Amino acid sequence: MWSPLRRGELTLAAKVLLLQLTVIVTLLVAVGVLSIRQSNADFAEERGAQMRNAAEYVAGLPVVRGELDRVRHGEAAAGGIPSTLAPYLEWGIATRGAQTVTVVSVDGVVLAATDPSRVGDRAALGSSDALEGRGWSGDVAPDGHPAVAAHVPVISEADGALLAIVTAEVEYPTLADQVATAAPDLGLFLGLGALLGLIGTWFVSRVVRRSTRGLGTTELANLADHREALLHAIREGVVGVGTDGRVTAMNDAARTTLGLDAGPDPVGRHVDDLGLDPHVVALLTGEGADVRDALALVGTRVVVFNRGRASSGGRGIGTVTTLRDRTELVSLQSQLSSNLSITDTLRAQTHEFDNRLHTISGLVQLGEYDELAALVGTLTRRRAEIEEYVAKRLADPAVAALVLAKHAVAEERGVTLELDPGSRLGALEPGLGADLTTVLGNLVDNAVDACAGHRDATVEVWLHADDEAVHLRVRDTGPGIAPELRDTVFVRGFSTKDHDHAGVVGGRGIGLALVRLICTQRGGTVVVDDADPGSGRAGGGGAEFRVVLPLRPVLGQDGAP
């Protein structure tokens, strides 16, 4: 449970609300500025045309031309022009909406104006080229206030000479005037925009508050940091996969277990692109029911997978899988299994000896001493023959003892265990001998389990060593293994006791996984196929496991070269 917000700290929803309000105000101000600029542009275009009409109207009056022509020829004094032309300039204002109309000499001096105070001043012509005899319109600032102006030359009818220019001007409305004029519409639009923005912002803030559970940005950052630290502190592997099959989270233990610690970061990559075995990919991304304690071989590791579905607000967002490395546990279980096998062997031999002792005791009581001698001789010869047969072919004491022990167990369960006459095995170094006895013991146990109870149940073992490897073959007369399950039996821990497919063996889900693990660690192989139906063995069919164990391991116990 996270602590409440510190005093004065805003929640993420409140920060989003303030941020969006700021964006809305900024947007509305920008819209207002653009509106004013557009209004000025429209004003300049509309009033510029009116100013041209006013200037052209005044410049085209015959009275104006005649009076200026008289002044040019000295027939009239320039000082009388203001009073003479003033009524005509006022007509330009009255009929065309200009604020100021002036007549400017070719020297740039105001000769007449609707504002008498400007007569005799220098005219503010700006960039106008009207003194060159061309009409012009644009912006000027005669009194420091921007205005729209039009300049039209006055041409003499007699000789076409430039007599003067007529200017017509109107000032741009001030910002206050524009705001006052547009206040009703602008207020309506700004108010409506602000209202809609507030409603939208409030709705977004509610959604954000619900999604973040009212946490502030600092607490969200702390939560993410704690989650990251917790994820990597867990010693078990944790893998998160999204609905699109991409890795959303993977801690250090998972990367080590899956053999991905030396490559690029798996987060964000598709599971299919990580180079994992197909059955591991299926365990990480499979759809349907959750996975509980699924056993798989990942490289040289025996790993237990548990997968559950993750959801948020009732909506599936992917899966979370935990990985537990159980390689050491499997080795301990193998040793325990070996001890149990020895116990079973001793129990079988005890049972056998009890039966024989009862028979011997009965013969003694009956006084049948000749029959007693014959029975003891037969039993002694049979045991000696079996031991001699095995010893001639298997020189390694541990392997030979295992075969003899499994022979007694198989007999008790009604199964014939045969050692192929072509078997040849010399003494092995201790490490290889231990691995071979583990592999052989598990395969024989599986074979006995598979064919026990069947007619003429037989298990055949063949062992041979050359200069490079030990070759092992175990055949049985059981129902065999379906082709589609021949790889699964090594990685999923299937058992004849809890699986519907007959012949799918594997002890309690450990034996065959351990067999593959040992073979992989030593750089060897193990394959399963149908037993040769033409081998001459009673029953035919069944399964055949073939193992190759190099004399010198290619991989160490940790899987390193």
In the chain the domains, ranked by start, together with CATH numbers, are: 15-176 (3.30.450.20), 234-325 (3.30.450.20), 329-550 (3.30.565.10)
> How, if at all, do strands 469-476 and 458-465 pair?
antiparallel
Rg (CA), the chain: 53
Q: What is the pLDDT of residue 245?
A: 87
Q: What is the pLDDT of residue 470?
A: 94
Q: What is the pLDDT of residue 198?
A: 72
Short-list 441, 469, 432, CA closest to 548: 469
Separation between Cα atoms, residue 105 and residue 331, nearest integer Å: 114
DSSP 353-390: HHHHHHHHHHHHHHT-HHHHHHHHHHHHHHHHHHHHHH
Cβ-in-10-Å burial (0-12, 13-18, 19+) of 484 comes to: exposed
Contact 194, 24 (CB under 8 A): yes
Amino acid at 121: D
Q: What is the pLDDT of residue 131?
A: 81
- Residue 523 contacts by C-beta under 8 Å, 6 or more apart in sequence? 550, 553, 554, 555
Short-list 445, 410, 530, CA closest to 480: 530
- Structural tokens at position 355: 């039966």
- Structural tokens at position 391: 């010893």
Q: Residue 390: how many CB atoms within 10 A of its CB? A: 18
Separation between Cα atoms, residue 47 and residue 437, nearest integer Å: 107
- How high is the mean pLDDT in each 10-residue block of the chain (561 residues)? 48 66 76 77 81 84 82 67 76 74 86 83 82 83 81 84 87 75 65 72 71 61 62 77 88 85 84 85 80 76 84 80 75 58 63 68 74 68 76 89 85 88 91 87 89 89 92 91 78 46 41 80 87 51 90 55 39
Q: What is the pLDDT of residue 461?
A: 94
Q: What is the pLDDT of residue 181?
A: 65
Separation between Cα atoms, residue 262 and residue 559, nearest integer Å: 14
Q: CB-side exposure of 394: number of CA atoms within 13 Å? A: 26
- Beta-ladder partners of 154: 164
